Amino acid sequence: MGASHARGFIAEGANVVIGDVLDDEGHTVAAELGPRCHYLHLDVSDPDQWAAAVTATEAKYGPIAVLINNAGFGTASLLADTSTEDWRGVLSVIIDGTFYGIRAAVPSIRRNGGGAIINISSYAGLAGTPLSGSYTTSKFALRGLTRVAAMELGCDNIRVNSIHPGYVATPALTGLTPEMAGLRNKLAIVRMAESEEVTKMVLFVASEDAAYCTGSEFVIDGGWSAGSPVPIGASEALWG
């Protein structure tokens, strides 16, 4: 999704800096997008690397207008079987990394005269999700962090919102079919989203079209969090 978001902002005329720990992949995306995209190594769980990333971004393109906190990963296990290492590892990237990113970027966004911070949460930040305790906990925590930041930074003309994707067809879900995921029993729109669909939401939330939106949660999950769908074919029996 991060690569898709970078492409979307480049298409809108922005200068983009992308950070990751996967250097080969990051350099490939930056080379694809041309001179208005720059890649730098960034372990989001390291506050010193965040500080260096903001300094490098300002040196290359000037103050930051939009920050997207997109990094994340998860592990699959029952809570009772989750190791401390796995628990802390997920939280250090998703929640600590987002906090460090906000803290590092806010002075630059203030120098820009305001802007937008977008935290990528998840469906798992809206409902209990078995076998993903650390991931779900971190995504719920992002909602609270987003709202606190929104209330603290509104006076600086900085809007802070969260986006909550459901199933998205990315390499992370390679090999997972709709049948394996049980999408027919979960979603009103029975398919996975494309990364570009999430990017359109990100672009909207970052834009002046969402100028009065802050502390909000934008859900793009095919209806997963809305409730239980009517089984296929059942509508005829219900409505005639």
Supply the residues annotated as catalytic. 135
Task: Tell me whether residue 60 is exposed, middle or buried, using C-beta atoms within 10 angstroms of its C-beta: 0 to 12, 13 to 18, 19 or more.
Answer: exposed
Separation CA 97–CA 46 (nearest Å):
7
Separation CA 168–CA 191 (nearest Å):
9
Give the sign of the dihedral formed by CA 80, CA 86, CA 91, CA 92: positive
Residue 220 has which token pair?
């793009």
- Taking CA atoms, 47 is separated from 62, 102, 107, 120, in Å, by 21, 10, 15, 19
**Of 8, 3, 56, 46, which is closest to residue 26 (Cα–Cα)?**
3
Residue 83: count of CB within 10 angstroms of its CB: 11
